[in-house]
A and B are shown apart, each in its own frame.
Chain A
């Protein structure tokens, strides 16, 4: 009976979980130009911000190399800012800070959001209602207001503090999405089977529900990261950015404060804006094209 009979037609219709997934991801990524485009854009941004200072040998962003708003020249490729510092160097360090704050914010938001969302979806009933009520309250309070209040309350704002502040105000979106997922996963047969095999709630959540949401969580993280970068820019423009470092938002803050728009010093405000747009655009594109890869139904024929 138990001869290793090859698994007939089922192979073609039900590929092995990993083998099949890997193959279909390989096929999908090969043909998904948007995925490769966004991935290369992100790689370029990372190289620019992390290795740029060494590549271009411009590793001191606070060095004064000219006067107020010197136009672009062979020495200062993108001119100087209001203090006479090199905009190009500032841009590399600013992108680094912005991405770092976005990443910290993303991680924090994912941890809180996934925990609350999974618990709510898994338990259902009163627990779910209470957790979701809390989430909805957090959503209804404008996050910028919380951010402003928190930022004012904390006088010395490091990069980590900024990431934490943004993270703990932006998780509700993830929590709601994850709740919907885990609440439908909870009723799957494999969860029932694990339950009658004696698995406790912790094991059910960690082994039966979370692995099935992994691709979903990764994509939520990408979205949280991009919104974290933008949130930081918004705060910094209001003058509530991190202290003692340069971020894209802080660059915009100074440019606005020192009338760069009115004086026509475009090199002070256009480059940081372009980089912010590139970061947000590439991350959103990555998210939507990765979505197509994980969910074959969305693929274009």
Chain B
């Protein structure tokens, strides 16, 4: 899956334009979990609705295309998505998915609705059998199908919705903050379930969007860090956690508090200031007003992308550091 140059903004009749996603490109390999991390208002949820083809006004997609399993779709016209994309190629597991179950209907009614929406020829019996089979493959009790949502715990509801939304074997699952509002034990169960869906080949890849870096580091193979509508760094999870490069990634990782004796040893500093206003983002590098390595060029020019498609950063200071290191090597 390759995503190219996605731009999207919110606009209303009288309000200013909020450029929530501004030029995002990345690729996801088969069997991979790509994590997208960022703070509130960085555009990560907007990105989720754009790539799950569920954007609707006031959100407008101005550019971007998605290459998925050999087919290309332009993202700009989301009112008319070709049939078979939504739910089959991409499927969204939203933040409070567990509340999307109708409280007055049993879970199997929801299963029937979802499957019928994509294939009207399927019978009720077939739909239920398919869900039963899937639940058994994932070692969940199939009796949940006969339950009402309120009879299930929040964590179980969230897992059930995750399973139902992948019944059609979508090649890409987009999970937007799926574990927020869950207890840690339920968070863990859900993440394990997603991993199992991937291992069994029911889905090919996951884009996991969250603000929770510790959780993400446990499931993602690669992590993209978003700041003010842009991706500032993408790297393999282990490399990023152990040796973050971009100054924003550094502070983000530096301000994470693990329940570990080491966090008590020294005072941890947060990031000064607040995320920028996307109606009027800072010039040049968008992180420069909060960056402690800011240089003279940063407010003037947008930093270029350095590195490869799967592993890059955008930062003037890093470029200079790398250049200096290379120069030192040559000198030796």
* Chains A and B touch each other in the complex, with CB atoms below 8 Å apart: yes
A9 touches B41 (CB 8 A): yes
B276 touches A6 (CB 8 A): yes
B274 touches A12 (CB 8 A): no
- Interface code A1-25, partner B: CB below 8 Å = 1, 0 otherwise? 1010111111110000000000100
A7 touches B272 (CB 8 A): no
A12 touches B10 (CB 8 A): yes
Q: Which residues of chain B are within 8 angstroms of A11 by Cβ–Cβ distance?
A: 277, 279
A8 touches B18 (CB 8 A): no
A8 touches B272 (CB 8 A): no
- Which one of B10, B13, B14, B275 contacts A8 once the chains associate, using CB atoms below 8 Å? B275
A282 to B257, CA, bound (A): 60
Q: Does B40 sit at the interface, judged by CB under 8 A?
A: yes
Q: Which residues of chain B are within 8 angstroms of A23 by Cβ–Cβ distance?
A: 14
Q: Does B36 sit at the interface, judged by CB under 8 A?
A: no
Q: Which residues of chain A are within 8 angstroms of B82 by Cβ–Cβ distance?
A: none
Q: Which residues of chain B are within 8 angstroms of A10 by Cβ–Cβ distance?
A: 40-41
- Which one of B40, B42, B277 contacts A6 once the chains associate, using CB atoms below 8 Å? B277
Number of A-B contacts (CB under 8 A): 32
Q: Does B141 sit at the interface, judged by CB under 8 A?
A: no
B275-314 residues with Cβ-Cβ distance < 8 A to A are: 275-280
- Which one of B13, B14, B40, B272 contacts A9 once the chains associate, using CB atoms below 8 Å? B40
Give the size category of B's interface with A: 10 to 19
Q: Does B259 sit at the interface, judged by CB under 8 A?
A: no
- Interface code B252-287, partner A: CB below 8 Å = 1, 0 otherwise? 000000000000000000001111111110000000
Main secondary structure on A side of the interface with B: loop
A231 to B272, CA, bound (A): 64
Residue of A nearest to B273 (CB): A5
- In the assembled complex, how far is the CB of residue B331 from the closest CB belonging to chain A, in whole angstroms? 41
B18 touches A3 (CB 8 A): no
A148-184 residues with Cβ-Cβ distance < 8 A to B are: none
Q: Which residues of chain B are within 8 angstroms of A3 by Cβ–Cβ distance?
A: 273
Q: Which residues of chain A are within 8 angstroms of B10 by Cβ–Cβ distance?
A: 12
Q: Which of B14, B40, B41 has the most CB of A within 10 A?
A: B41
Q: Which residues of chain A are within 8 angstroms of B272 by Cβ–Cβ distance?
A: 1
Residue of A nearest to B228 (CB): A8
Q: Which residues of chain B are within 8 angstroms of A9 by Cβ–Cβ distance?
A: 40-42, 275, 278
- Interface code B114-127, partner A: CB below 8 Å = 1, 0 otherwise? 00000000000000
A7 to B279, CA, bound (A): 11
A7 touches B274 (CB 8 A): yes
B12-31 residues with Cβ-Cβ distance < 8 A to A are: 13-14, 18
Residue of A nearest to B40 (CB): A9
A23 to B14, CA, bound (A): 9
- In the assembled complex, how far is the CB of residue B282 from the closest CB belonging to chain A, in whole angstroms? 10
With A10-B41, A12-B10 known as contacts, the answer to whether A5 contacts B274 (CB < 8 A) is yes
Q: Which residues of chain A are within 8 angstroms of B42 by Cβ–Cβ distance?
A: 9
B220-256 residues with Cβ-Cβ distance < 8 A to A are: none
Q: Which residues of chain B are within 8 angstroms of A1 by Cβ–Cβ distance?
A: 272
A11 to B277, CA, bound (A): 8
- In the assembled complex, how far is the CB of residue A124 from the closest CB belonging to chain B, in whole angstroms? 27
B102-157 residues with Cβ-Cβ distance < 8 A to A are: none
- In the assembled complex, how far is the CB of residue A16 from the closest CB belonging to chain B, in whole angstroms? 13
Q: Which of B14, B42, B273 has the most CB of A within 10 A?
A: B273
A69-98 residues with Cβ-Cβ distance < 8 A to B are: none
Q: Which residues of chain B are within 8 angstroms of A27 by Cβ–Cβ distance?
A: 13-14
- In the assembled complex, how far is the CB of residue A243 from the closest CB belonging to chain B, in whole angstroms? 55
- In the assembled complex, how far is the CB of residue B49 from the closest CB belonging to chain A, in whole angstroms? 15
Residue of A nearest to B275 (CB): A8
Q: Which residues of chain A are within 8 angstroms of B41 by Cβ–Cβ distance?
A: 8-10, 12
Q: Which residues of chain B are within 8 angstroms of A12 by Cβ–Cβ distance?
A: 10, 18, 41
Q: Which residues of chain B are within 8 angstroms of A6 by Cβ–Cβ distance?
A: 274, 276-277, 280
A8 to B42, CA, bound (A): 9
- Interface code A112-152, partner B: CB below 8 Å = 1, 0 otherwise? 00000000000000000000000000000000000000000
A12 to B275, CA, bound (A): 13
Residue of B nearest to A15 (CB): B15
Q: Which residues of chain A are within 8 angstroms of B276 by Cβ–Cβ distance?
A: 6, 8
A6 to B274, CA, bound (A): 8
Residue of B nearest to A1 (CB): B272
With A12-B10, A12-B18 known as contacts, the answer to whether A7 contacts B277 (CB < 8 A) is yes
A-B pairs, 7 with minimum CB distance: A9-B41, A6-B277, A5-B274, A8-B275, A8-B41, A5-B273, A8-B274
Which residues of B approach A to under 8 Å, CB–CB?
A: 10, 13-14, 18, 40-42, 272-280
Name 17 interchain pairs, CB-CB below 8 A, sorted by A: A1-B272, A3-B273, A5-B274, A6-B274, A6-B280, A7-B274, A8-B40, A8-B41, A8-B274, A9-B42, A9-B278, A11-B277, A11-B279, A12-B10, A23-B14, A27-B13, A27-B14
Sample of 18 further A-B pairs with CB below 8 A, known A6-B280, A8-B278: A1-B272, A5-B273, A5-B274, A6-B277, A7-B274, A8-B41, A8-B274, A8-B275, A8-B276, A8-B277, A9-B40, A9-B41, A9-B42, A10-B41, A12-B18, A12-B41, A27-B13, A27-B14
Which residues of A approach B to under 8 Å, CB–CB?
A: 1, 3, 5-12, 23, 27
